[in-house]
Amino acid sequence: MSHVTDLLHSNGDSRNEPRHPEKAHRPDQPVARKPEWIRVKAPGSPQWAVTRKIVREHRLVTVCEEAGCPNIGECWEKKHATFMIMGDTCTRACAFCNVKTGLPRALDPAEPSHIAGAIKKLGLAHAVVTSVDRDDLGDGGAGHFAKVIAAIRAASPNTTIEVLTPDFLRKQGALETVVAAKPDVFNHNLETVASKYLAVRPGARYFHSIRLLQRVKELDPKIFTKSGMMLGLGEERHEVLQMMDDLRTADVDFLTMGQYLQPTKKHHPVVRFVPPDEFASFAEVALAKGFLLVSASPLTRSSHHAGEDFARLKARRMVLREHL
């Protein structure tokens, strides 16, 4: 069975505050027993400990820990950590997410250099940087993303960079700032189908996110675009297929699909555990619709195997161009 360990370090008063105060009044939702096909290796290997030590030394936040990712043992053993910038507190309150919500602290001006230093020390060929939503900032944190990208480029010129950004809703010019910093991959997750947004992502807008991804390609066609969704939130098959079509309309290159796992009794319940063969079927359909790459399995997550996937993306784009 899946064992997700809470590895959050306890330094600072914020760690002692409730992670989800906005969910406290909600009735408990039963946490369904996980099926046999959801299995992960518990973290704790020597190499995992090395990665954890580097993360701690540079005072960094990772989405691997904050979101309770089931793949943390496998990824950290390979020194693959996904860095979460702009603090550990999100201004949104999505029903699926385990990241802490509340009023964030001021940005740390030293964070870009800390991120770059950790990436250089880990020797990452491909770095993934994501963030909390920062609706409190005028640019949604876009300028900070650009500074982090620049710092990584300066410290590790050969490292490719993937960003997983918020939606920058009502933040004019924010997307342009991030794209101008020229990440190699621009990822923004839709998370679920349009009909589930009010219940699952009440602070987001489905078609705004589609347009965000489309706009990236308009600004810089060379950047690979990527998006991900969770299954098991009550979506219907035809809605998943429509979402694929919407993403292809926006010329998105890469789609990831994984099983939603309920973090606590206060979060959205798992409506259904989707079997592996159904994920494989969705992958076949998505490839037929024109995605360059599709990763679909119960334990697939946005940054899981991101480096290997980036190499495959480049190769498939080259093959496609050769046949044009």
Amino acid at 239: E
SS3 state of residue 84: strand
**pLDDT (0 to 100) of residue 16:** 55
- Contacts (Cβ under 8 Å, ≥6 apart) of 14: 88, 89, 100, 105
The candidate with the shortest Cα–Cα distance to 283, out of 291, 273, 275, is 291
Q: Which of 64-73, 78-87, 291-300 has the lowest mean pLDDT?
A: 64-73
Predicted confidence (pLDDT) per residue in 112-136, tens digit: 999 999 999 889 999 999 999 999 9
Tell me the pLDDT band of 324, cut-offs 50, 70 and 90: low
Say how far apart CA 261 and CA 66 lie, in whole Å: 14
Predicted confidence (pLDDT) per residue in 135-168, tens digit: 999 999 999 999 999 999 999 999 999 999 999 9
Give percent of the chain above pLDDT 90. 63
298, 258 in Cβ contact below 8 A?
Answer: yes
The mean per-residue pLDDT over the stretch 37-55 comes to 74
**pLDDT (0 to 100) of residue 11:** 38
**pLDDT (0 to 100) of residue 52:** 74
Say how far apart CA 288 and CA 193 lie, in whole Å: 20
**pLDDT (0 to 100) of residue 66:** 59
SS3 state of residue 4: coil
The mean per-residue pLDDT over the stretch 50-59 comes to 76
Give percent of the chain above pLDDT 70. 87
Cut 0.85: pTM above it = yes
Predicted confidence (pLDDT) per residue in 5-40, tens digit: 333 333 334 445 677 777 777 788 878 888 888 876
> Is the pLDDT confidence value at 43 over 70?
no
> Is the pLDDT confidence value at 181 over 80?
yes
Q: Which residue has the higher pLDDT, 17 or 203?
A: 203
Tell me the pLDDT band of 4, cut-offs 50, 70 and 90: very low
Predicted confidence (pLDDT) per residue in 236-291, tens digit: 999 999 999 999 999 999 999 999 999 888 899 999 999 999 999 999 999 999 99
**pLDDT (0 to 100) of residue 98:** 85
**pLDDT (0 to 100) of residue 13:** 41
**pLDDT (0 to 100) of residue 306:** 84
Say how far apart CA 238 and CA 244 lie, in whole Å: 10
